Structure 1
Amino acid sequence: MSSRFTTRAVMLALGFSTTLVGTALAQEKVLRIGMTAADIPRTHGQPDQGFEGNRFTGIPMYDGLTNWDLSSADKASVVIPGLATEWSVDAGDKTKWVFKLRPGVKFQDGSAFDAAAVVWNVEKVLNKEAAHFAADQVGVTVSRMPTLKSAKAIDPLTVELTTSEPDAFLPINLTNLYMASPTHWAAKLAAVPASVTDAAERSKQAWAAFSADPSGTGPFKGVRLVPRERFEMVANKAYWDPKRVPKVDRVVLLPLPEANARTAALLSGQVDWIEAPAPDAVPQIKQRGFSIYTNAQPHVWPWQLSFAEGSVWLDKKVRHAANLCVNREELKTLLGGLMEVPKGTVPPGHPWWGNPKFEIKYDLEAAKKLMTEAGFSASKPAKVKVLTSASGSGQMQPLPMNEFMQQALKDCYFDVALEVGEWNAVFTNWREGAKHANARGANATNVTYAAMDPFFAMVRFVSTKTFPPVSNNWGYFGNDEFDKLIADARTSFDGTARDAALAKLHARIVEEAPFVWVAHDVGPRAMSAKVKGVVQPKSWFIDIAPMSME
């Protein structure tokens, strides 16, 4: 990459001013991050932009009742107490849970966190009659915890949550419900002009003001938002967990959706950290003294297939053929080794593996044979249209990866067309479904997903209760058999029994192949040697709070 390109790409992409690099921030310890997102994830407490939003504007500024343990690079991340110190399901009615709240926690505006605040945050996405109902927060919340029905304060530090059916996954799913300050939001509502009389519009304007000046309970507080350009957070030195009181003074988030621009920004010293560096630049990045952090993650890069009427994927032979037609080791070489080869949603040896009878591997002849049996040939290929993005949360290197798939599947009588959309639009269509106009006629979609918990890894893709727009069963896959397997897992409140039920579910998913499993992400990120205290966990997320800057 030329120095002329480096300078121009960085300055145009970052919009850096002399104010940013001058004396105003010179005395602060500032960590600058180049994200893959094309825009700043929402900052009001329920981020968009996929899980990159949770990583950069969720976890740093907010807490859930439960949080992810991101403190180890060696052990799988597990759910730990967050704003709740303990929880239990009612022995007589397994739709009711009691959560005991952490005492003494304050929102960043100084107001107290209590049971009333929990009820308020549940109602912001479930109660359409609430003054603070936020329609734009529903999709990224309710689809991730679809059984949560209501919340009730028992006393100031005890809250009861009710689900629509027994759901052992609830404590895991609650990591996605971030607690925003009701008091701070009320102040923003009071500032909305009296001339705005429509309740929904008043709520919308209050949330917009809250986004520019957010208040959660997290280790960082948002202080400056410039949409599509930058977001700045400063340390919350009064954070309730001493282990996560920030060591840096300020974090600057910059949307840099193009891999070469991100890499140029890092090499020229304009940022300290980039997500998903350009694979062919990794040797240069290392030679220049930067660190590359990777770790096998429960994160899948797939094609999710449509089972709508007329879809070529309705034939299991075609689905199996596509999974057998991809030389994933070649793809791994193309990506500079920055991926793992999948055998399913989870790897062999995982408690949910289940020994599926269909093996995902590269077998070109077997793939061709299946396609011939399905009625396809070189002169009569199977027409496939894949909806993808040019960048985005967890998408790795979507264009070169999809172009690799396009060429690989041609050898097995597939004619693949790529429909490239903006990441957030593709992600939104993930809930709208394959039958929606925004799918643009695609019969497969390329949206990556985290496989950290049962609902995210499997349930939302194969349950008939998660058809669009409820959750992410984009392709309308599922039947009574899968619903029964899910019910067995969801109603197993003992961990061993639950794992056994999930293993049966995973085996059947692999055997029926509603996905083409292409890669497991390793979360590559490149950082300046000045960034210290980095823990790259076995998780899609990472914790900024313990990091420091030389």
Structure 2
Amino acid sequence: MRTMFRPVLLAGALAIAGALMTTTSLMAQEKVLRIGMTAADIPRTHGQPDQGFEGNRFTGIPMYDALVNWDLSKTDGPSVIIPGLALSWEVDATDKNKWVFKLRPGVKFHDGSPFNAAAVVWNVQKVLDQNAAHFDQSQVGVTVSRMPNLLSARAIDDLTVELTTRNPDSFLPINLTNLFMASPTHWQKLLGEVPASVTDPKARAAAAWTAFAGNPSGTGPFRGVRLVPRERFEMVANKEYWDTARRPKVDRVVLLPLPEANARTAALLSGQVDWIEAPAPDAVAQITARGFKMYTNAQPHVWPWQFSFREGSPFVDRRVRHAANLCINRDELKSLLSGLMEVPRGTYPPGHPWWGNPTFEIKYDLATARRLMTEAGYSAQRPVNVKVLTSASGSGQMQPIVMNEWLQQALKECFFNVELEVAEWNAVFNNWREGAGSPGSRGANATNVTFSAMDPFFGMMRFVTRQANPPASNNWGFFNVDEFDQLAATARSTFDDAGRDRALAALHKRIVEEAPFLWVAHDVGPRAMSARVTGVIQPRSWFIDITTMDIRPGS
């Protein structure tokens, strides 16, 4: 059983790619890196990107810094957090709800204004303080769901800031990699340019943020210069970037949304772009034969179905959840994807400090899967009907239509009658926070949203605790069990590494045993690039550093 990709038809796709990319005489004199993204639109550029973590990858990290950054400098080990705009941080010895961050001196925003503690407070307020003049509701969902315990910020002095959490939270430094620092001075200037006829304070703030998106100012290695929604976004090198080791080697980066895998592949093969995310697997041999380079690396990234536990969902029955996980031959799917995936045993693999040795083994066992479904009351004559919400493309979604159609066929062997509900990626992603009971879920019993497991909050807690129930975070299916709240609380409030790892292993063990997901694949982050692109470091991370890359002259 194989679902094949359509062949790459260059003649038709050339017109699409050509319409999306034009090269000016100015660009011909520059080192220009052109990237074909999987997103259908340009991720937001105002400092808190949408479009999932593809937004962080392409309009977050290049233009902005956080207090804490990811180390993307190596290929042979997991990415870890490193100092960003904060040189150091520590939790208060007597009050574990308070953290003190020492800031990096001498950093300037793209508009020339200084980065300092006041700027940190301002950026916390933009998503947490509804009374702040610059509060922006559109930035809240993509930010607060990723750092739900942060409560407030206070400047101690110009280069020292205190952050307060609702509860003790040993994961706060990791969570802060998602809070990018935008320029308060630049925003205030743009607010002053809003027409006087706009009198409502909220409307004025929204207009200033819209202007900021078109003319952004962060502290990062690239500076945004041109935004055409749904078509392109251009960034130029920040030659004054504070980290001299990461000053860009290319002059300009052009982002192009190309959500269809064959169109992306054709754009690469025809020379319209230099780099594509998630190429069509059937075209990998053609890509490499033509001299392009493929980059892959195992990532802490999960491609799942996340089950609903709402009344009436068949996945309330653990036997059905286990059966789904035992029914699919993931090695066959890996072959279909030309090897561009890893076979999962859970969210984390055996040998990982958070593995925990679960008693339920995720594997292909058709006989046991059918037995469990029979015990649950289903058969070939009485299949269970399930609806799954997915997208046609998007950040980390790999090849969602092909993969979901393969699952649809595979699960028939275990008496599942699967209906696929395909929606636009950002709508599916937004529904992830709205929950299984919302109109946006369209009555789905499962949702297909991929996720990064680089840190324990992202990988586990936001899916299995009441604190993460929609709209706070991503417990889409309302998986609510007291035991999991207790396990998560223990891990979050443990500040020594060994103790925290033990607590997280206990949590992962129980997650796998209860199976709130159908674990389908781990991504390897496949991207194909022109041989002209040099200095590529493909880390074991969801993200990648563009600053290391260069363009070799010539064709």
Alignment TM-score, normalising by the size of structure 2 = 0.98
SS at structure 2 position matched to 1:545 = helix
Q: Name 1:513's counterpart in structure 2.
A: 515
Tell me what 2:17 maps to.
10
CA shift digits 1:179-216 (9 cap, x unpaired): 00000000000000111011110000000000000000
Residues 61-113 of structure 1, C-alpha deviations (whole Å, 9 max, x = no match): 00000000000000100000000000000010000000000000000000000
Contact 1:6/1:268 (<8 A) preserved? no
Q: Which residue of 1 aligns with 2:4?
A: none
Cα deviation for residue 242 of structure 1 reads 1.0
Map 1:125-524 onto structure 2 (within 5 A). 125-524=127-526
1:67 lines up with 2:64 in the alignment: no
**In 1, distance between residues paired with 2:24 and 2:260?**
26
Deviation above 3 Å: which 4+ runs of structure 1?
none
SS in 2 for 1:238: coil
Q: CA deviation at 1:9?
A: 3.0
Q: Work out whether residues 354 and 502 of structure 2, in 8 Å CA contact, stay in contact via their aligned partners in 1.
A: yes
1:533 deviates by: 0.4
Kindly state the Cα deviation for residue 6 of structure 1 after the two structures are TM-superposed.
3.3
Question: Could you tell me which residue of structure 1 aligns to residue 31 of structure 2?
Answer: 29
2:3 equivalent in structure 1: none
For 1:452-503, what per-residue CA distance to the aligned partner results, in whole angstroms no more than 9, with x for missing partners?
0010000000001110000000000021100110011001100111011000
Q: How does 1:80-119 map to 2 (within 5 A)?
A: 80-119=82-121
- Deviation (angstroms), 1:288: 0.3
Distance 1:298 1:3 in 2: 34
2 CA distance for matches of 1:8 and 1:210?
33
Structure 2 residue aligned with 1:55: 57
Question: Offset at 1:8?
Answer: 2.1
SS in 1 for 2:276: strand
Structure 2 distance, partners of 1:2, 1:41, is 28
Give the conservation status (yes or no) of the 8 Å contact 1:243–1:546.
no
The one-character-per-residue Cα deviations of 1:408-443 (angstroms, maximum 9, x if unpaired) are 000000000000000000000000000001100001
Distance 1:177 1:22 in 2: 35
Letter of the structure 1 residue corresponding to residue 15 of structure 2: R
Aligned mates of 1:163, 1:6 — CA distance in 2: 50
**Matched residue SS, 1:208:** helix
Q: Is the 8 A contact 2:307 2:447 kept in 1?
A: yes
Equivalent pair of 1:85/1:102 in contact (CA under 8 Å): yes
Paired amino acid for 2:144: V
Provide the C-alpha distance between the structure 1 equivalents of 2:393 and 2:343, rounded to a whole number of angstroms: 21
- Tell me which amino acid in the other structure corresponds to 1:2: L
CA distance in 2, matches of 1:166, 1:3: 55
Matched residue type, 2:321: R
Aligned counterparts of 2:41 and 2:297: Cα–Cα separation in 1: 26
How many corresponding residue pairs?
545
- Tell me the secondary structure at the aligned position of residue 411 of structure 1: helix
CA distance in 1: counterparts of 2:262 and 2:430, whole angstroms? 26
Q: Quick one: which amino acid aligns to residue 519 of structure 2?
A: W
- How far apart, in 1, do the equivalents of 2:14 and 2:158 lie? 55
- Post-superposition offset of 1:380: 0.6
The one-letter code matched in structure 2 to 1:546 is T
Distance apart, 1:2 and its partner CA: 3.5
CA distance in 2 between counterparts of 1:4 and 1:87 reads 55
- Write the distance in 2 (CA, Å) between the matches of 1:421 and 1:223: 31
Q: Secondary structure at the match of 1:21?
A: coil
Per-residue CA distance 1:208-240 (angstroms, 9 max, x = gap): 000000000000000000000000000001000
Alpha-carbon distance between aligned partners in 1 of 2:9 and 2:107, rounded to the nearest angstrom: 51
What is the letter of the counterpart of residue 11 of structure 1? Answer: G
Q: Distance in 2 between matches of 1:6 and 1:119?
A: 47
Residues in 2 aligned to 1:380 and 1:465: alpha-carbon distance in whole angstroms: 37
Residues 9 and 266, structure 2, Cα contact 8 Å, conserved in 1: no
Give 1:161 deviation, angstroms: 0.2
Q: C-alpha deviations, 1:293-342, integer Å up to 9, x for none?
A: 00000000000000001110000000000000010000000000000000
Q: CA deviation at 1:123?
A: 0.1
Amino acid at match of 1:362: Y
Give the SS at the match of 1:518.
strand
Q: C-alpha displacement at 1:11, in angstroms? A: 2.3
CA distance in 1, matches of 2:193, 2:425: 33
Distance 1:116 1:445 in 2: 40
The one-letter amino acid paired with 1:6 is: A
Partner AA of 1:359 in structure 2:
E
Q: Tell me the residue number matched to 2:42.
A: 40
Residues 462 and 478 in structure 1, CA contact (< 8 A), matched pair in contact too: yes
Amino acid at match of 2:307: L
**Residue deviations 1:339-375, cap 9 Å, x none?**
0000000111000000000000000000000000000
SS across alignment from 2:414 = coil
Cα distance change of structure 1 residues 147 and 2 upon mapping to structure 2, 3 Å threshold: closer
User: Do 1:48 and 1:140's aligned partners in 2 also have CA atoms closer than 8 Å?
Assistant: yes
What are the ranges of 5 or more consecutive residues in structure 2 without an aligned counterpart?
A: 1-7
- 3-state DSSP class of the match of 1:228? coil
Find out whether 1:534 has 2:541 as its counterpart.
no
- Structure 1 residues 238 and 518, CA, compared in 2 at 3 Å: closer, same or farther? same
- Deviation string for 1:255-284 (max 9, x for gaps)? 000000000000000000000000000000
SS in structure 1 at match of 2:547 = coil
In structure 1, stretches of 5+ residues that fail to align are none
Letter in 1 for 2:526: P
Amino acid at match of 2:390: T
The alpha carbon displacement at 1:243 in A equals: 1.2
* Amino acid aligned to 1:519: A
Amino acid at match of 1:61: M
Change (3 A) 1:213 1:376: same
2: CA distance between counterparts of 1:7 and 1:293? 24
Give secondary structure in 1 for the equivalent of 2:254: strand
Q: Is the 8 A contact 1:233 1:250 kept in 2?
A: yes
**Alignment check: 8 A CA contact 2:295 2:526 kept:** yes
RMSD of aligned alpha carbons? 0.6
Question: What's the CA shift for 1:177?
Answer: 0.1
Is the CA contact 2:103–2:160 (under 8 Å) kept in the aligned structure 1?
yes
Partners of 2:452 and 2:250 in 1: CA distance: 28
Question: What secondary structure does 1:469 align onto?
Answer: coil
Matching residue within 78, 81, 98 for 1:79: 81
